Amino acid sequence: MLQPACQAYAPGEKKGAGAMSRTLRIFGLLASLCGCAGGGFLPYASRSLDPATLDSLVSGASQANGVPPGLVRAVVMAESAGDPSAISSAGAQGLMQLMPGTSSSCGIANPFDPTENVQCGTGYLRSLLHRYHNNVTLAVAAYNAGPGAVDRYHGVPPYPETRAYVVRVLNAYHNY
């Protein structure tokens, strides 16, 4: 017969003797994931900026770069869900998920600094809008897959991730 996890014990140990040990190991694992101050890594834990702060960053970068604020916000939310500490498996960093080369070309010292990240990402988005003659669909596709892929396919690349990303960003943009 199966026992509930809270009543399980290893063969040869006294009933209940391992429960405290398992509990301490679980708390130790959680402590190491979250860190003493809560700044550790716990997948899917929300570290999003509060909406007012995010709106202020987006508004400033949007105005400085001549990019619609709804588009910038849609990209931020698609890229990082507003989490300035986000890191992708490909190495993209921060709110707008800047690749190290993009950060470097903007001259920003800290890609996790929300202001620098959004300014750089919005400037990059502006350059893509210029490159694709204000075609938002192509600019958004290039933001995700890179301009080389958009140029190679003469449009949105056939990558499922990029196609889904473009739909997600454009839907959000039209709703902001």
Decide: residue 149, CB within 10 A, 0-12 exposed, 13-18 middle, 19+ buried: middle
Q: How far apart are the first and last CA of the chain?
A: 55
Active site residue 79: yes
Place of tokens 């990082």: 80
Q: Give start and end residues of each alpha helix (H) in the chain.
A: 17-34, 51-65, 69-80, 100-106, 114-131, 136-145, 147-153, 160-175
Q: Which of 13, 79, 116, 161 is catalytic?
A: 79
List the one residue out of 100, 73, 104, 88 whose CA is nearest residue 168: 73
**Residues belonging to the active site:** 79
